[in-house]
Amino acid sequence: MAVAGDGHILHGMHFNHLDLNLLVALDALLAEQNITRASRRLHLSQPAMSGALARLREYFGDDLLAPIGRRMVPTPLAESLAGPVRDILLKVETTVQIRPEFDPARAQRHFKLLMSDYVSIVLMTKALPLIQQIAPQVTIELLPYSDRPWESLERGEVDALIQPTQYIHEGHPAEALFEDSYTCIAWQENQLIGESITLEEYLALGHVAVRFGQQRLPAFDEWFFDHYGHTRRIEIITASFSTLPQFVVGTTRIATIHQRLADFYLRFLPLKRVAPPVEMPHLTEVIVWHRYRNRDPALLWLRNILRQCVDSPPPQ
């Protein structure tokens, strides 16, 4: 036991009088703003978390989380600590995780990737078999498109996200993976539609559209037609690209989806491709990773694999 200059008694391992494990507790406490939930996150009992908060309060000389009514509200000091502490822990995590070499044949790495189900269908269906061949011990977890994919990346909850260029933010490195364009699909036996379609015909049909997450964010096609003042009659809203083509089959409805996704489903479903009534811009899917993982050879390897998996066409 040692006594520090300011009279604090020190036990165990400390960094400038602070037990660094308390930062882990602080991060969980500030993220949850609730002691019980923070304790579950760290697999501790509620009293243990309460004790950690008491030690943090002692160290900082501040309540950090103060009860207001039934809620625990962070103090201004706690607010100002939240971002930097999260950043430090992420830096620690990436530091201890990185190995100078990535040996695919033996590596046991687990990757968490966030992407739309469209990307998982057109990209991961090709990438996963290849990854199993080259890196049999690597495991992959695909996370659904949330309302705030960028926050998941910032918080280090995912290794990378894959999304269209228009949604990327500054501050983290990104790399293009593949391009795609849009097409319409209809049921093969839909007599109302031929190989092409006029805008009037298009707008007269019922549409199947996709919206994501809690906020029900529209997919690009919906945004595009709204933006140009063309009101489509959306009769079916579904939550995933993978269900959308099946909701066109057996109906006179139409859907506007990615070429590559259409190619995929044309192999299984009685669908026909219809050229969109107006020219739609191409989209580029990019992979974005946290700047702290920039030097991670494992991620570099994964990016190379993913790039290999998309052979050039569709965009025409």
Q: Which stretch binds DNA (CB under 7 A): 43-51, 116-124, 170-178, 302-310?
A: 43-51
Assess 48 for contact with DNA (CB under 7 A).
yes
Binds DNA by CB under 7 A, chosen from 3, 5, 6, 12 = 12
Q: Does 31 bind DNA (CB under 7 A)?
A: no
Q: Which stretch binds DNA (CB under 7 A): 50-58, 174-182, 265-273, 281-289?
A: 50-58
Is 19 near DNA (CB under 7 A)?
yes
55 touches DNA by CB under 7 A: yes
171 exposed, middle or buried (CB, 10 Å; 0-12, 13-18, 19+)?
exposed
Mapping DSSP to helix (H, G, I), strand (E, B) and coil, where does residue 107 land? Answer: coil
Total residues interacting with DNA, rule: CB under 7 A: 25
Identify the burial level of 118 via C-beta atoms within 10 angstroms of its C-beta, where 0-12 means exposed, 13-18 middle and 19 or more buried: buried
User: Per CB under 7 A, does 18 bind DNA?
Assistant: no
Options 29-37, 82-90, 184-192, 281-289: segment touching DNA (CB under 7 A)? 29-37
Q: Quick one: residue 234, left, alpha or beta (phi over 0 = left, psi -120 to 50 = alpha)?
A: beta
- Token couple for 123: 């990209």
Question: Which of 4, 17, 46, 130 forms a contact with DNA (CB under 7 A)?
Answer: 46
Spatial neighbors of 56 by CB under 8 A, at least 6 apart, are: 22, 25, 26, 29, 64
Kindly give, in sequence order, each residue whose CB lies less than 8 Å from that of residue 280, ignoring residues fewer than 6 positions away.
Answer: 181, 182, 221, 224, 256
104, 138 contact by CB (below 8 A)? yes
* Residue with Cβ nearer DNA (16 or 316): 16
52 binds DNA (CB under 7 A): yes
Tell me: does residue 69 bind DNA (CB under 7 A).
yes
Output the smallest distance, CB 92 to DNA, in A.
17
How would you class 68 by CB atoms within 10 Å of its CB: exposed for 0-12, middle for 13-18, buried for 19 or more? exposed
Residues that bind DNA (CB under 7 A): 1, 9, 11-13, 19, 34-36, 43-48, 50-55, 67, 69-70, 72
